[in-house]
């Protein structure tokens, strides 16, 4: 495995070097960096301007010398200067954070949501849900990012902000949302027509009541979950994860382990209140690690010899789920104060963050979310559709395999057949897709940033291309191409990890 | 018919699976170890239909048989005869759109009337299955040990260690060397024959009453076939299970089955003790199958006698006997209009679905009908 | 009879025997057609794409051929009713004005240009570029993929490394650079250069397929009869990848429309005075609040084209590779 990784690493570095040569050759030919200087009235001023730029960009050297000068600079951490003499390092430092946040956020969300929807869609093949998901995937796949981005910016952001001034829902909105939720629930349950109708009715009425209550109490202006809702949801989560990992059984040690994890999580949320008032990222990470470790111990002890594996899984998932609930609750509770700081218009349409923003951890978090939500949504659509379609196809293929039939013939419950046999095999080809997709998302980010007026890597690249300036173009490529190479590596390693045939080759 | 020496040596184990050795009627298991009359699985009027874009495929059209404790029942037929579909129906592994009717009675309980949960409890525990292609039947990303132990753990509440110990025991039993070590191996590290041994180990790991083996040796080399069949019979005795052996290989049936069920176009057409069916077939299809086999002691000038034509479509099954278009003794009356039901013949415990089984009973060599047919054609 | 001819016949016979082709070849095509026509989305896509192509090509004319639409896309004019679209499909029995096309069905832009003619011109350009990209990308990808898949060793290694290098460069960056360098010389050249940077998915698909086909018995048979590599690739290997190639064309076309419109939106693609759907959206994106129709029409046409092409591709894939419909004994 190590040799496999090392070999891949060497090849990737060589391929990446070759790609820098290709991009460099194009970048130095894409335009004339002297164009502006040439427009000056001829005379000594023009000559000195031309000479200065020539000197700065080594334009009198042959291209291959310039490449090696650039490469030498990169290896010592110096990305060179632009035609106007600005440091590319400084430009990149300002730009890279926002872009990577956008790209990674969109990628991770697309992978998680896309794979989940794809799996569900495959498990309910030819159901109403499956057909709608397939059609939606086609539609998303066909949408131009800039068109969707502009629509989101103009309507969602502005209309949402207007609505938040008086956040009540019209009855028809409540009805429509409830209808969709109920249809979704009904298509998830297995069973005859009556079970489905019951699910639909319960889902619809429950949703209508919930939305009406939220709307009437002005919850949307000052949201939050509260201890009671967190507790109920955490316990529901415990039941859900237990069912997923070992089947629904109220008295099994697995259920007890998951319940313990949920209850411990709720108690901790109350005890840790002062710590959670204004934490930092490290604290949150540490808490997550502690949660995982403690839940692992719960599972180990409570599960005993017979149920250890599923108890650990159920307890850890329940614990992290409860943690996430508490996290979201804190974030929501800060919404009212954040909204006030932003003058009642929390959803932003311009830029990657409010300049010079000062606030608690939660308020800064909301500021990022407020700025990132719409661009991420626009950027996600295509990737989401891709992941959904590929996952669905891959799962359908795997579920027809002989070894899945073997698993059923052993007498495994369908739940275990899917989680233990279909899922892992079905996800193997998806790893390769992530490597492919990241390049598309990087390109999409350039377009999205343009739509939302970010001054990030997209702007840097476009300015570079328009001014015939290789420095920023190459800086963009170092990050974007680097991301592609890194994702390829991760995909290869994950592939090897998931598939013993590759690992041992 | 050939009566040459018996390569199985009357040991009651094995079968070369090689049809070139001919069909044997010497000493077989059936003679040594007569089946006991305690029924363990009964299939009654089983039908399976699949709705497709082109119409309803009637894959199985009324199958009846019983399996007795400890016996080997062979089911033969060409592809599309419904032999695999009917056994998948017993396992409950057919695709969701399949329409299954009839009764499948295991120890007095009808499987088709059971709830899925109850049925799952029997699957792999009391009724186990071995599949045709060992290369694709094991999960490539899980160790052999995990996959074997999983079979135990899905029916028994025991610690993982116990399940792995049982898995090791089973690998020993099916003749895989260094079993403890091999538990940590992945399927791709095994040869085809070894994988089929693993599948056998998986099938017997819970001491089942019935093992359904669906062409377990078709995908293997000839020499490995013999080893696998031998191992199958050995472990059957070790766990005292009955075997339903599905195959198109008459040599395998002759070598190891007590009784044989012949299927054609989704129907059972002949059922009886293996030596009766092989020596005195009362259904022309079986006679034709026997005649189409090459045999070592045949004279050089004797040609093979294939059955001409192909089986009927299962979407629009024509009226009359489905075999009549290919049958040398079919006449114009009943054969073309009335589909014969399996009925008792002149032999003991033997049924055949033919209006004219009497003609076969009178002939010295029932396969001769096909010879005349092909010679007339020429 | 020369030796070559005998070889050909025998290799062909081996192929036919191995695949059961020959007589069944025609029925295979019929089968594919039948499966394609059963795919409702694909048929709808085919009709949709056909309608858009016919509308775009015939309405304002193409090159020297005049069209039936009286206005052209460059002439400015006076604004009628603030340039609102006159197209109506609201039937009169529901209280609407009934179906009518009117003077400016898609409205007018801020200087009074007929927006229907402008959108049609944009659609023409986008479609032409997309088809050129589709053909170029598929051709390059097929050649590289087939050669890499068929010949092992150095040829495969170097071609696959070449593919890796291209994949390492984000498509938008690569396309943007070549479009600025060469694409200003007109839409045909732009299509060609975009095709030269978008062939990698096709190459990988074809290579994978060729890798498995080259191990099949009929290829071994042809090789044992001494057929040349070129001959084996063109006569035995590629015909068996037709399905994948055709599906690749649709994928490449769909990608190309989106890519071209994104480039034009960023100002790197089609340059004025010519226009394309992406360019139009870019030009009028700030009009969304005041003249929303300037934003919707070109967007709807992009979505219509890409959605149709994707559905056609999906139908073709199902038709060529109907594995999911398999029912086993």
Q: Which SS3 state, helix, strand or coil, does residue B156 take?
A: coil
Taking contacts as CB-CB distances below 8 angstroms, the residues of chain B near C328 are 84
Residue C42 lies in a domain: yes
Determine which of A323-332, B40-49, B268-277, B349-358 has the lowest per-residue pLDDT on average.
Answer: B349-358
| Contact criterion met (CB < 8 Å) for C329 and B53 | no
Determine which of A110-124, B314-328, B358-372, C12-26 has the lowest per-residue pLDDT on average.
Answer: C12-26
Residue C13 lies in a domain: no
Q: What percent of chain B has pLDDT over 90?
A: 20
- Which pLDDT belongs to residue A408? 92
Nearest CB partner across the interface for B52, out of C38, C327, C329? C327
Beta carbons within 8 Å of B183's beta carbon, 6+ residues apart: B143, B144, B145, B148, B164, B167, B168, B171
Instruction: Please tell me the distance in Å from A99's CA to the nearest CA on chain B.
Output: 37
Taking contacts as CB-CB distances below 8 angstroms, the residues of chain B near C38 are 53
| Contact criterion met (CB < 8 Å) for A142 and C307 | yes
Instruction: Please tell me the distance in Å from B160's CA to the nearest CA on chain A.
Output: 7
Q: Is A166 on the interface with B (CB under 8 A)?
A: no
Interface of A with C in 404-443 (CB under 8 A): 436, 439-440, 442-443
- The overall longest dimension of chain C from CA atoms, in Å, is 80
Nearest CB partner across the interface for C329, out of B52, B53, B84? B84
Q: Which SS3 state, helix, strand or coil, does residue B109 take?
A: strand
If one counts the domains in chain C, the total is 1
- CA dist., res. A263 & res. A271, Å (int): 12
Q: Which domain holds residue C175?
A: 28-55+119-320
Instruction: Please tell me the distance in Å from B41's CA to the nearest CA on chain A.
Output: 17
Examine the pLDDT at B297 and tell me if it is beyond 90. no
Residue C95 lies in a domain: no
Determine which of A68-77, A245-254, B28-37, C112-121 has the lowest per-residue pLDDT on average.
Answer: B28-37
Instruction: Please tell me the distance in Å from B95's CA to the nearest CA on chain C.
Output: 9
- DSSP, res B205: T
Instruction: Please tell me the distance in Å from C107's CA to the nearest CA on chain A.
Output: 19
- DSSP, res B338: -
Nearest CB partner across the interface for C303, out of A14, A142, A484? A142
CA distances in angstroms from C215 to C208, C212, C236, listed in the order given: 12, 6, 12
Instruction: Please tell me the distance in Å from B316's CA to the nearest CA on chain A.
Output: 27
Interface of A with B in 382-401 (CB under 8 A): 401
Which of A147, A386, A445 would best serve as a mutation to test chain C binding (most C beta carbons within 10 A)?
A147
Q: Is C307 on the interface with A (CB under 8 A)?
A: yes
The answer to whether A490 and B131 have CB atoms below 8 angstroms apart is no
Size of interface B-C (CB pairs under 8 A): 15
Q: Can you give the pTM of this predicted structure?
A: 0.84
Interface of C with B in 220-259 (CB under 8 A): none
| Contact criterion met (CB < 8 Å) for B59 and C328 | no
- Which pLDDT belongs to residue C1? 36
- CA dist., res. C178 & res. C184, Å (int): 10
Residue C244 lies in a domain: yes
Q: Is B111 on the interface with A (CB under 8 A)?
A: no
Q: Is B162 on the interface with A (CB under 8 A)?
A: no
pLDDT tens digit string along C133-191? 999 999 999 999 988 888 877 888 888 889 889 989 999 999 999 988 887 788 889 99
Confidence at C46, pLDDT banded by 50, 70, 90? very high
Q: Is the dihedral of CA B10, B11, B12, B14 positive or negative?
A: negative
Q: Which chains have at least 3 CB atom pairs separated by less than 8 Å from chain A?
A: B, C
- Residue ranges of domains in chain A: 2-92+454-504, 168-217
Average pLDDT taken over every residue of chain C: 79
Q: What are phi and psi of C125, to 5 degrees?
A: -60, -45
Residue C199 lies in a domain: yes
Taking contacts as CB-CB distances below 8 angstroms, the residues of chain A near C280 are none
| Contact criterion met (CB < 8 Å) for B80 and C38 | no
Per-residue pLDDT of chain A (505 residues), as tens digits, is 677 788 888 888 999 999 999 999 998 888 777 777 777 777 777 788 888 888 777 777 888 888 998 898 889 888 888 877 788 888 888 888 889 989 999 999 999 999 999 999 898 887 788 888 888 888 888 888 888 888 888 788 888 888 887 778 888 888 899 998 888 888 777 767 888 888 889 999 999 999 888 888 888 888 888 888 889 999 999 999 998 888 888 888 899 999 999 999 888 888 888 888 888 888 889 999 999 999 999 999 998 888 888 899 999 999 999 999 999 988 888 888 888 888 778 887 777 777 777 778 888 888 888 888 889 999 998 889 889 988 998 998 898 889 999 999 999 988 889 988 999 899 888 888 888 889 889 999 999 998 888 888 999 999 889 888 888 999 999 999 999 998 888 888 888 888 887 776 5
Nearest CB partner across the interface for C173, out of A14, A15, A443? A443
Q: Is the dihedral of CA A157, A163, A165, A169 positive or negative?
A: negative
Confidence at C89, pLDDT banded by 50, 70, 90? low
Q: Which chains have at least 3 CB atom pairs separated by less than 8 Å from chain C?
A: A, B
Instruction: Please tell me the distance in Å from A494's CA to the nearest CA on chain B.
Output: 13
Helix (H) / strand (E) element for A244: namely: helix A226-246
| Contact criterion met (CB < 8 Å) for C329 and B52 | no
Q: Is A405 on the interface with B (CB under 8 A)?
A: yes
Nearest CB partner across the interface for A138, out of C166, C258, C311? C311
The answer to whether C100 and C90 have CB atoms below 8 angstroms apart is no
What's chain C look like in SS3? CCHHHHHHHHHHHHHHHHHCCCHHHHHHHHHHHHHHHHCHHHHHHHHHHHHHHHHHHHHCCECCECCCCCCCCCCCCCCCHHHCCCCECCCHHHCCCCCECCCCCCCECCCCCEHHHHHHHHHHHHHHHHHHHHHHHHHHHHHHHHHHHHCCCHHHHHHHHHHHHHHHCCHHHHHHHHHHHHHHHCHHHHHHHHHCCCCHHHHHHHHHHHHHHCCCHHHHHHHHCCCCHHHHHHHHHHHHHHHHHHHHHHHHHHHHHHHHHHHHHHCCCCCCCCCCHHHHHHHHHHHCCCCHHHHHHHHHHHHHHHHHHHHHHHHHHHHHCCHHHCCCC
| Contact criterion met (CB < 8 Å) for C329 and B80 | yes
Taking contacts as CB-CB distances below 8 angstroms, the residues of chain B near C329 are 59, 79-85
Residue C88 lies in a domain: no
Q: Is B144 on the interface with A (CB under 8 A)?
A: no
Examine the pLDDT at B17 and tell me if it is beyond 60. no
Interface of A with B in 80-109 (CB under 8 A): none
Residue of C nearest to B57 (CA): C327
- CA dist., res. A419 & res. C244, Å (int): 32
- CA dist., res. A334 & res. A322, Å (int): 19
| Contact criterion met (CB < 8 Å) for C303 and A139 | yes
Q: Is the dihedral of CA A488, A493, A498, A500 positive or negative?
A: positive
Which residue is listed with tokens 């599905």?
Answer: B246
User: Where residue C267 sits, what CATH number does that domain have?
Assistant: 1.10.3720.10
- Which pLDDT belongs to residue B132? 85
- DSSP, res B123: B
Strand arrangement, sheet containing B259-264: B127-130, B210-214, B242-247, B72-76, B259-264, B267-273, B351-352, B343-344
Instruction: Please tell me the distance in Å from C217's CA to the nearest CA on chain A.
Output: 25
Taking contacts as CB-CB distances below 8 angstroms, the residues of chain B near C327 are 50, 52, 57, 95
Nearest CB partner across the interface for C181, out of A26, A436, A443? A26
Taking contacts as CB-CB distances below 8 angstroms, the residues of chain C near A143 are 303
Which of C122, C158, C173 would best serve as a mutation to test chain A binding (most A beta carbons within 10 A)?
C173
Taking contacts as CB-CB distances below 8 angstroms, the residues of chain B near C36 are none
Average pLDDT taken over every residue of chain B: 79
If we measure between CA atoms, which residue out of B288, B279, B283, B204 comes closest to residue B240? B204
């Amino acid at each position: 495995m190590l040799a496999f990784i090392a070999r891949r690493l060497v090849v990737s570095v060589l391929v990446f070097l070759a790609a820098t040569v290709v991009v460099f050759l194009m970048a130095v030919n894409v335009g004339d960096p002297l164009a502006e200087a040439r427009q000056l009235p001829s005379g000594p001023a023009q000559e000195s301007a031309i000479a200065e730029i020539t000197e700065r960009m080594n334009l009198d050297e042959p291209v291959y010398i310039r490449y090696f000068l650039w490469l030498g600079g990169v290896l010592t951490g110096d990305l060179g200067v632009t035609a106007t003499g600005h440091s590319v390092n400084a430009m990149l430092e300002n730009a890279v954070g926002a872009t990577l946040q956008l790209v990674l956020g969109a990628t991770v969300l697309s992978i998680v949501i896309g794979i989940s929807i794809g799996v569900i869609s495959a498990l309910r093949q030819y159901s109403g849900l499956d057909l709608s998901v397939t059609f939606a995937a086609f539609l998303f796949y066909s949408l131009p990012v800039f068109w969707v981005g502009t629509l989101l910016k103009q309507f969602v952001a502005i209309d949402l902000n207007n609505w938040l001034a008086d956040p009540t829902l019209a009855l028809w909105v409540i009805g429509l949302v409830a209808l969709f939720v109920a249809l979704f629930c009904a298509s998830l349950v297995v069973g005859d027509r009556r079970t489905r109708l019951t699910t639909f009715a319960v889902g619809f009425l429950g949703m209508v009541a919930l939305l009406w209550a939220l709307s009437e109490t002005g919850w949307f202006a000052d949201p939050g979950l509260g201890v009671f809702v967190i507790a109920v949801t955490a316990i529901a989560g415990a039941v859900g994860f237990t069912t997923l990992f070992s089947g629904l059984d109220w008295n099994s040690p697995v259920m007890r382990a998951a319940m313990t994890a949920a209850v411990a999580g709720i108690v901790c949320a109350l005890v840790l209140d002062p710590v959670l008032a204004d934490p930092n990222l490290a604290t949150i990470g540490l808490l997550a690690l502690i949660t995982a470790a403690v839940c692992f111990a719960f599972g180990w002890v409570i599960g005993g010899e017979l149920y250890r594996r599923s108890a650990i899984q159920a307890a850890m998932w329940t614990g992290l789920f409860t943690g996430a609930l508490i996290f979201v609750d804190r974030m929501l509770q800060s919404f009212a104060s954040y909204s006030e700081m932003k003058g009642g218009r929390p959803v932003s349409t311009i830029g990657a963050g409010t300049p010079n923003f000062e606030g608690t951890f939660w308020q800064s978090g909301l500021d990022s979310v407020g700025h990132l939500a719409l661009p991420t949504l626009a950027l996600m659509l295509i990737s989401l559709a891709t992941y959904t379609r590929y996952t669905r196809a891959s799962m359908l293929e795997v579920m027809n395999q002989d070894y899945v039939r073997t698993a059923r013939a052993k007498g495994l419950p369908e739940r275990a057949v899917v989680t233990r046999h279909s899922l892992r095999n079905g996800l193997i080809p998806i790893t390769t897709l992530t490597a492919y997709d990241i390049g598309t998302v990087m390109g999409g980010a350039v377009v999205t940033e343009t739509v939302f007026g970010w001054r990030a890597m997209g702007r840097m690249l476009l300015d570079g291309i328009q001014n015939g300036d290789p420095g920023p173009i190459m800086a963009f490529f170092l990050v974007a191409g680097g991301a592609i190479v890194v994702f390829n590596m991760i995909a290869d390693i994950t592939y090897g990890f998931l598939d013993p045939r590759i690992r041992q080759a | 018919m050939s009566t040459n020496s018996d390569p199985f040596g009357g040991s009651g184990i094995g079968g070369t699976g090689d049809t070139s050795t001919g069909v044997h009627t010497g000493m077989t298991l059936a003679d040594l170890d007569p089946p006991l009359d305690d029924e363990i699985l009964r299939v009654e009027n089983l039908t399976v239909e699949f709705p497709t874009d082109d119409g309803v495929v009637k894959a199985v059209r009324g199958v009846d048989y019983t399996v007795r404790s400890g016996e080997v029942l062979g089911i033969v037929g060409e592809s599309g005869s419904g032999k695999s579909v009917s056994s998948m129906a017993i396992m409950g592994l057919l695709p969701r759109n399949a329409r299954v009717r009839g009764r499948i009675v295991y120890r007095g309980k009808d499987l088709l009337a059971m709830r899925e949960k109850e049925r799952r409890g029997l699957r792999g525990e009391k009724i186990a299955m071995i599949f045709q292609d060992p290369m694709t039947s094991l999960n490539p990303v899980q160790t052999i040990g995990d996959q074997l132990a999983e079979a135990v753990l899905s029916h028994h509440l025991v610690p993982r260690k116990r399940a792995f110990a049982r898995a090791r025991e089973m690998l020993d039993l099916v003749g895989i060397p260094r079993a403890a070590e091999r538990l940590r191996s992945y399927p791709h590290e095994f040869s085809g024959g070894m994988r089929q041994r693993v599948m056998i180990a998986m099938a017997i790991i819970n001491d089942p009453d019935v093992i359904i083996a669906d062409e377990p040796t078709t995908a293997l080399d000839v020499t490995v076939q013999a080893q696998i069949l031998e191992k199958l019979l050995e472990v059957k005795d070790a766990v005292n299970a009955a075997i339903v052996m599905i195959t198109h290989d008459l040599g395998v049936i002759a070598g190891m089955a007590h009784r044989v069920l012949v299927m054609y176009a989704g129907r059972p057409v002949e059922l009886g003790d293996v030596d009766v069916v092989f020596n005195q077939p009362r259904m022309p299809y079986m006679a034709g199958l026997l005649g189409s086999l090459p045999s070592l002691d045949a004279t050089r000038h004797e040609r093979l006698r294939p059955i001409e034509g192909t089986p009927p479509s299962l979407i629009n099954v024509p009226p009359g006997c489905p075999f009549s278009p290919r049958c040398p003794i079919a006449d114009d009356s009943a054969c073309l209009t009335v589909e014969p039901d399996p009925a008792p013949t002149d032999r003991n415990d033997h049924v055949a679905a033919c209006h004219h089984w009497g003609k076969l009973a009178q002939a010295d060599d029932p396969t001769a009908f096909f010879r005349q047919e092909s010679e007339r054609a020429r | 009879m020369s030796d070559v001819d005998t070889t050909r016949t025998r290799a062909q016979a081996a192929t036919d025997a191995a695949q059961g082709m020959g007589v069944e070849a025609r029925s295979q095509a019929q089968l594919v057609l039948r499966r394609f026509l059963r795919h409702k989305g694909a048929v709808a896509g085919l009709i949709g794409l056909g309608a858009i192509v016919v509308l775009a090509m015939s309405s304002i004319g193409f090159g020297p051929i005049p069209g039936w639409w009286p206005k052209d896309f460059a002439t400015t004019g006076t604004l009628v009713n603030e340039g609102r679209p006159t197209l109506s499909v609201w039937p009169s029995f529901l209280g609407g004005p009934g179906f009518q096309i009117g003077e400016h069905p898609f409205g007018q832009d801020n200087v009074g240009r007929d927006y229907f003619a402008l959108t049609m011109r944009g659609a023409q350009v986008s479609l032409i570029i997309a088809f050129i990209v589709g053909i170029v990308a598929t051709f390059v990808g097929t050649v590289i993929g087939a050669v890499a898949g068929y010949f092992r060793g150095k040829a495969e290694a170097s071609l696959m490394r070449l593919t890796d290098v291209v994949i390492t460069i984000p498509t938008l960056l690569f396309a943007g650079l070549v479009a600025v360098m060469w694409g200003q010389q007109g839409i045909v050249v732009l299509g060609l250069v975009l095709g030269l940077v978008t062939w990698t998915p096709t190459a990988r698909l074809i290579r994978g397929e060729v890798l498995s086909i080259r191990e099949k018995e009929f290829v071994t048979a042809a090789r044992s009869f001494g057929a040349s590599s070129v001959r084996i690739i063109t006569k035995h290997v590629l015909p068996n990848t037709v399905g994948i190639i055709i599906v690749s064309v649709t994928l490449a076309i769909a990608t190309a429309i989106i890519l071209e419109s994104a480039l034009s939106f960023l100002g790197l693609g089609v340059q004025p005075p010519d226009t394309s759907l992406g360019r139009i959206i870019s030009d009028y994106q700030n009009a969304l609040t005041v003249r929303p129709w300037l934003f919707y029409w070109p967007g709807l046409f992009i979505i219509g084209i890409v959605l149709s092409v994707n559905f056609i591709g999906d139908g073709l894939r199902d038709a060529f590779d109907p594995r999911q419909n398999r029912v086993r004994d």
